[in-house]
């Protein structure tokens, strides 16, 4: 059903389960419940994957640093889930070689155990021996699955030969493997579409907020029309991430579950730094003890991240002070590579929905996940606290099992080996990929280079996109010839686009890569207007809205 039909149905039918929040935990749970045949509705007050889930470091990782906190169970689960993401969504999650520059040999040897025992807030700089022990433990979890290679240590001489721009003060580098999420937003929307494909019992709508409780029913408000609806679910799942406490407050539940921290990143267009790191992430301890990263991102570089306690998730921004911090951390590892502010093409920030903690440092706050249960009259409310992108499937499975028990239902299917979106029937070999690209080109009457670009963006869904493109005449965009009008229309028609910024920020990586020019924004608005029923005034309003979002939220001036 389309958006209008879903909202009309709510006037006469209430779902058994209402999920509030369209981030990765909410969407993952939505998919799992849909697979079990549960009557479920997901509502998101903004666009899907537009909050904390959109501000991640784009990593699928086991969390090697959590070993130091003694969170072995969390690491074991995260490593398994990282491998499953690589296998189930190979078009969007790929193995990433990760390099650790090491400046000391024995440093931290006695501090690490004290931190493990909670007798020390922050250890001394981690030296080669401590890192070696950690990587051996990490490999012990990873090698059982065989998805990525074991770690390797190389000497200073070999390291500088391999990475000539590295700080010559290093003593070693270590390389191990984690995973990179090429577009968290696309992964989230494909999960959501897979869920809805299970049948009419599963629906998701964006720009609909839970605004309160009335006579024991949940009041939903559509921000696009201002209309209100009431539903009477048997179960409410609060998956609002950093906004869990405010959502509970709207239900009349005074709770303090979240103690989030802000994480910011910048995206750089710095060809010299791109060449210096190649296809590798650089993951290291900065001078202040903070674990930070530099890694490749579609020809650009992401640098992050900070870990700053915040009281509210509203209006967090990447500040000038954080940018100074990022520029400085690059110089710590690559001292001869100059990073300039004008090379920043995008910045982003979000709040990690961590459980409230009295830990003295943010690094000590657990990244694990938990379900907090409250009661709203006869309706249970499950608050999904904490978690991380990598372990969303496992967390969703736990929530779904708890919900099924309450509903008196049995699990019908499992998600451990279930492909996601364009990962379905993904070709395993290069020859098979070539055949898939040729089939896509044939289906859409396209050049193979164009078919290859679609395959890169959508995985095996490229075949469906190509057939849509071929149905009527198409044309390249004037401002982006590698995109076409029909491709944009496909995303609007099939992926729940409601605003212009949905297209630039979450259905594509155009804005993230510094490619959101004013002519492109105007051209996209002209394509979206007839599809979404905008008049000329609404079209101009959408352009102004998007320009403001990019400027204020992401430091992009058009």
Span 254-310, pLDDT tens digits: 999 988 789 999 999 999 999 999 999 998 888 777 889 999 999 999 999 888 888
Q: What is the pLDDT of residues 424-462, one digit of tens each?
A: 999 999 999 999 999 999 999 999 999 999 999 999 999
**CA angle, corner 345, sides to 344 and 349, nearest 5?**
80
Does this model's pTM top 0.75? My answer is: yes
For residue 201, with 0-12 CB atoms within 10 Å meaning exposed, 13-18 middle and 19 or more buried, which class applies? middle
Q: Can you tell me the mean pLDDT for 363-381?
A: 81
DSSP state of 234: S
User: What whole-number distance in Å separates Cα of residue 390 and Cα of residue 286?
Assistant: 24
How many residues make up the chain in this entry?
Answer: 558
Neighbour count for residue 44 (Cβ, 10 Å)? 26
For residue 299, with 0-12 CB atoms within 10 Å meaning exposed, 13-18 middle and 19 or more buried, which class applies? exposed
Interhelix angle 72-88/128-142, nearest 10 degrees: 60
Interacting residues of 159 by C-beta distance below 8 A, sequence separation 6+: 101, 166, 170, 172, 173
Asked whether 269 and 330 are in contact (CB, 8 A), the reply is: no
Interacting residues of 354 by C-beta distance below 8 A, sequence separation 6+: 258, 259, 260, 261, 365, 366, 367, 386
Helices within 89-232 (DSSP H only): 111-116, 128-142, 156-162, 184-196
Confidence of residue 120 (pLDDT cuts 50, 70, 90): very low
Q: What is the pLDDT of residues 488-520, one digit of tens each?
A: 999 999 999 999 999 999 999 999 999 999 999
User: What whole-number distance in Å separates Cα of residue 397 and Cα of residue 413?
Assistant: 11
DSSP bridge partners of 352: 261
User: What whole-number distance in Å separates Cα of residue 504 and Cα of residue 193?
Assistant: 19
Q: What is the pLDDT of residues 214-229, one digit of tens each?
A: 988 999 999 999 999 9
Q: Are strands 17-20 and 40-44 parallel, antiparallel or unpaired?
A: parallel
Interacting residues of 381 by C-beta distance below 8 A, sequence separation 6+: 236, 237, 238, 248, 251, 253, 373, 374, 375
Q: What is the pLDDT of residues 42-67, one digit of tens each?
A: 999 999 999 999 999 999 987 776 66
Q: Are strands 369-376 and 59-60 parallel, antiparallel or unpaired?
A: unpaired
DSSP bridge partners of 210: 220
DSSP state of 474: -
DSSP H or E segment with residue 302:
strand 300-304
If DSSP codes are grouped into helix, strand and coil, which group holds residue 222? strand
Q: What is the pLDDT of residues 187-197, one digit of tens each?
A: 999 999 999 99
DSSP H or E segment with residue 457:
helix 448-458
The per-residue pLDDT for 423 is 97
Q: What is the pLDDT of residues 310-354, one digit of tens each?
A: 888 888 999 999 999 999 999 999 999 999 999 999 999 999 888
DSSP-derived secondary structure for 40-104: EEEEESSSTT-SGGGGS-SEE---GGGGGGT-HHHHHHHHHHHHHHHHH-TTTEEEEEEEEEE--
DSSP H or E segment with residue 361:
none
Q: Are strands 40-44 and 202-206 parallel, antiparallel or unpaired?
A: parallel
User: What whole-number distance in Å separates Cα of residue 224 and Cα of residue 8?
Assistant: 14
**CA angle, corner 388, sides to 199 and 118, nearest 5?**
150
The per-residue pLDDT for 414 is 95
Q: Smallest Cα–Cα separation from 299: which of 318, 273, 264?
A: 273
Domains belonging to the chain, first-starting first, are 3-52+185-256+366-407 (3.50.50.60), 96-181+259-358 (3.30.9.10), 425-554 (1.10.8)
Interhelix angle 518-532/536-554, nearest 10 degrees: 130
DSSP H or E segment with residue 264:
strand 261-268
User: What whole-number distance in Å separates Cα of residue 516 and Cα of residue 550?
Assistant: 9
Asked whether 344 and 327 are in contact (CB, 8 A), the reply is: no
C-alpha distances (whole Å) from 312 to each of 12, 243, 309, 426, 449 are: 36, 8, 9, 41, 46
């Amino acid at each position: 059903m389309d958006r209008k039909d879903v909202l009309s149905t709510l006037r006469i039918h209430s779902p058994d389960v209402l999920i509030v929040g369209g981030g990765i935990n909410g969407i993952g749970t939505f998919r799992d419940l849909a697979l079990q045949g549960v009557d479920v509705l997901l509502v998101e007050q903004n666009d899907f994957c537009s909050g904390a889930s959109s501000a991640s470091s784009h990593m699928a990782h086991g969390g090697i640093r959590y070993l130091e906190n003694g969170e072995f169970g969390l690491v074991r689960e995260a490593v398994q889930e990282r491998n499953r993401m690589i296998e189930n969504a190979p078009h969007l999650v790929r193995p990433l070689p990760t390099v650790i520059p090491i400046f000391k040999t024995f440093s931290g040897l006695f501090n690490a155990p004290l931190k493990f025992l909670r007798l020390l807030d922050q250890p001394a700089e981690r030296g080669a021996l401590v890192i070696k022990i950690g990587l051996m433990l990490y490999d012990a979890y990873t090698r059982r699955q065989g998805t990525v290679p074991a770690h390797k240590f190389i000497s200073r001489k070999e390291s500088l030969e391999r990475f000539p721009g590295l700080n010559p003060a290093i003593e070693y580098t270590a390389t191990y493997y984690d995973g990179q999420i090429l577009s968290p937003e696309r992964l989230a929307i494909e999960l959501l579409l897979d869920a809805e494909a299970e049948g009419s019992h599963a629906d998701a709508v964006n720009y609909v907020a839970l605004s309160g409780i009335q006579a024991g029913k949940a009041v939903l408000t559509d921000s696009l029309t201002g209309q209100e609806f009431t539903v009477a679910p048997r179960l409410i799942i609060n998956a609002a991430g950093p906004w869990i406490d405010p959502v509970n407050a709207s239900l009349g539940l005074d709770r303090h579950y979240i103690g989030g921290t802000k994480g910011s990143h910048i995206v750089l267009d710095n060809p010299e730094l791109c060449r210096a790191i190649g296809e590798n992430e650089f993951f290291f301890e900065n001078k202040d003890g903070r674990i930070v990263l530099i890694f490749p991102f579609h020809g650009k570089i992401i640098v992050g991240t900070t870990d700053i306690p915040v009281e509210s998730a509203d209006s967090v921004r990447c500040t000038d002070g954080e940018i100074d911090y990022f520029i400085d951390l690059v110089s710590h590892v690559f001292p001869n590579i100059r990073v300039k502010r004008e090379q920043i093409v995008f910045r982003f920030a979000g709040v990690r929905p961590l459980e409230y903690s009295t830990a003295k440092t943010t690094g000590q706050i657990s990244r694990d996940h938990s379900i907090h249960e409250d009661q709203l009259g006869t309706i249970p409310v499950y608050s999904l606290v904490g978690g991380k992108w990598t372990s969303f499937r496992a967390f969703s499975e736990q929530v779904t099992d708890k919900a099924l028990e309450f509903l008196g239902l049995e699990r019908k299917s499992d998600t451990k080996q279930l492909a996601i979106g364009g990962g379905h029937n993904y070709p395993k070999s290069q020859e098979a990929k070539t055949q898939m690209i040729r089939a896509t080109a044939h289906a859409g009457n396209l050049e193979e280079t164009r078919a290859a670009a679609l395959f890169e963006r959508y995985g095996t869904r490229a075949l469906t996109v190509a057939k849509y493109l071929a149905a009527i005449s198409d044309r390249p965009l004037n401002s982006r010839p590698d995109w076409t009008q029909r491709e944009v229309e496909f995303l609007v028609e099939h992926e729940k686009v409601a605003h212009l910024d949905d297209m630039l920020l979450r259905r594509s990586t155009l804005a993230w890569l510094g490619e959101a020019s004013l002519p492109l924004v105007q051209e996209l608005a002209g394509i979206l207007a007839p599809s979404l029923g905008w008049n000329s005034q609404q079209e101009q309003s959408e352009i102004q809205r998007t320009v403001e979002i990019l400027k204020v939220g992401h430091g992009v001036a058009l």
